A and B are shown apart, each in its own frame.
Chain A
């Protein structure tokens, strides 16, 4: 029983990162109607960014967020301007196909770049406080992962406020809902696309930083994270960042439970089962709205 509770807690902690990883993908997909399959590679890059800051300059990984996030924002703006900005010019039906091609190409390129720069070995950031554990009764909570969960929650809440209150945040939501109507009200939708993509990349960078400190990174983690994020997006549906975060927690716990019930190898299976079940029973996701 204790073991199970321990697994659930670890699942929640990992699930927070799933939620953060998925929020960026969801934002880009919801606004640009483009599926960025290189999202996991952007997470990987964020992780290496923090790793470099730590290894070369001794920057604490949580402080590194203050550099990684703006850096990722700029990277996102660059990727949109150089690549995805051309994809969104296509009509919506061809957009998804083109975005898959561009995304897979980008993923391969970033993977190769990472192997070149950092080798294929697993890396993780080990800080002085890395082993600290908070003990609640029989359950041990790794402090670093708890802090990561809280940071992830804060970032999601920040994003939610940004989209709810900021003038361009509202413009981004308006563009996601109906780009033609957005255009008619005078919103420069290309700018809304650019902002959404940059924000999505910034979230990926933040997620990667947290992965590199609580877990480990290697050049090949991209696909796995894209997949987890995609499962969470399908589970949550589009439109609600807080809902996406909750769905991330859900996936983390579901994985922990299935590993406990059926053994470790089944950890990965449950996500795919959820993916299929949601698509069959509730294609708009738990928090999404059915198309009219």
Chain B
């Protein structure tokens, strides 16, 4: 479905990705793990068209994504929940969701999409007329996930959706991801919360210093000594 090959990108002289190869299959949940500065956000930026890679290819269902104008990528069925949510803070929940369905294909289905988002996050229905800036971090994250879903994506990419959010809301958002995935949407999840991400994911890649240093099934990586030591802390390593 999504296939990156030999992807290289950087900012000025600083390389952020050096030859990353990765696939996401239809209906899969794939986690992308790694420390800060490993290149995870850059990778999502490349796929969503905000960052121009220096080398390598990105293909989506056989089509070369790099040849498509950035605003048309969402039309192809890839939506992203960016790092820090990047909502339109001065607008209402409803306006933000509606803008998520801006492209023609998504607009045709926006009524059903809106109902689906409200079914997933009932909180948003009651707050639909509220200005986004006034919501809590967790509620804003729901709006951000909802906005991406409004595009009726077949692949949903999320950059640290649990960052800075109250623990009970993290649960709600991760549960929502499972439900979204059950409806057939593939998910590429960048996450700091490694344990939660690996429990959720079918497969995972570990990115360090702009390179893929490990990959495998979620459950296997959860038991891998290196992963346990590096990402789950010394207590987990001993357990």
Taken together as a complex, chains A and B put the C-alpha atoms of A271 and B86 apart, in Å, by 36
Interface stretch (choices A60-68, A134-142, A173-181): A173-181
- Taking residues whose C-beta sits less than 8 angstroms from the other chain, chain A's interface range is 10 to 19
Contact between B74 and A181, CB atoms less than 8 A apart: no
Residues of chain B within 8 A (CB-CB) of A184 are 48, 50, 70, 74, 79-80, 82, 86
Residues of chain A within 8 A (CB-CB) of B208 are none
A186 at the interface (CB under 8 A from B): yes
Taken together as a complex, chains A and B put the C-alpha atoms of A173 and B103 apart, in Å, by 16
A-contact 0/1 string along B21-49, CB 8 Å cutoff? 00000000000000000000000000011
Contact between B88 and A186, CB atoms less than 8 A apart: no
Residues of chain A within 8 A (CB-CB) of B103 are 186
Contact between A171 and B88, CB atoms less than 8 A apart: no
Contact between A177 and B90, CB atoms less than 8 A apart: yes
- Taking residues whose C-beta sits less than 8 angstroms from the other chain, chain B's interface range is 20 to 34
Taken together as a complex, chains A and B put the C-alpha atoms of A239 and B80 apart, in Å, by 26
Choose one: B50, B82, B89, B95; the contact of A170 (CB below 8 Å).
B95
Contact between A187 and B87, CB atoms less than 8 A apart: no
Contact between B102 and A186, CB atoms less than 8 A apart: yes
Choose one: B69, B89, B100; the contact of A185 (CB below 8 Å).
B100
Given the known A-B contacts A171-B99, A186-B103, A187-B99, are A181 and B71 also in contact in the complex, defined by CB atoms under 8 Å?
no
Provide a sorted-by-A list of 26 A–B residue pairs whose CB atoms are within 8 angstroms.
A167-B102, A170-B99, A171-B99, A173-B88, A173-B90, A174-B91, A174-B99, A177-B89, A177-B90, A177-B91, A180-B50, A181-B86, A183-B49, A183-B50, A184-B80, A184-B82, A184-B86, A185-B99, A185-B100, A185-B102, A186-B74, A186-B102, A186-B106, A187-B71, A187-B102, A188-B71
The 8 A-B residue pairs with the shortest CB-CB distance, nearest first, are: A186-B103, A181-B86, A186-B74, A186-B102, A188-B71, A177-B88, A174-B88, A183-B70
New A-B pairs, 16, CB < 8 Å, besides A185-B151, A186-B103: A173-B88, A173-B91, A174-B88, A180-B50, A180-B82, A181-B87, A181-B88, A184-B74, A184-B79, A184-B82, A185-B102, A186-B74, A186-B75, A187-B71, A188-B71, A189-B71
